Structure 1
């Protein structure tokens, strides 16, 4: 399992969530098996998204799609975010506890 971890510094969570829910990059069509959205408990406009993919290639392709089709849009960075998002792809190497497989 490969997880694309993205950190979004957003201007206003509600506005970000509205756009996120429209799925402008096509998460499901790109092979995302699950999507988890988190907010920092102290900084409510700091958002983390974790998307799970079967392969590193699928995660990398989706990240590239985000960079070229969503994040490069000046309206996205200028209106929704205070800075560019950061992202990395993580490979799951162990799991313990509830839901471990």
Structure 2
């Protein structure tokens, strides 16, 4: 599994989330299999987003789309503060921990 990991500060979560939701079709069309949105418990003005892909090329292509078509335009990325920190990651190992144990019992 390939993950596009994105982190950045925001000014308003509701405004940011509305903009994020507007790109649901673009995520699907780019091959996003699932996404997770998280915020630090001690910093509600920060978001961490993980987008899962089947291939590195899909993640890199979507990152290029975000950089050139979304984040470069303040109207498309309201509430974004600064330039997001990003990384394309490959999953080397994954465990579901207690969930796997409960299912196996």
TM range, normalised to the smaller chain? 0.7 to 0.9
CA shift, 1:82, in A, is 2.1
Is residue 25–residue 65 contact of structure 1 (8 Å, CA) maintained in 2?
no
TM-score by length of 1: 0.88
Q: Which runs of 5+ in 1 are unaligned?
A: none
Asked if 1:17 corresponds to 2:17, the answer is yes
Q: Which has the larger radius of gyration?
A: 2
State the partner residue of 1:34.
34
TM-score by length of 2: 0.85
Give secondary structure in 2 for the equivalent of 1:57: helix
Q: Which moved more, 1:39-48 or 1:24-33?
A: 24-33
Cα separation, 1, equivalents of 2:90 and 2:37 = 19
The aligned runs of 1:33-72 (5 Å cut-off) are: 33-72=33-72
Give secondary structure in 2 for the equivalent of 1:94: coil
CA shift, 1:80, in A, is 1.3
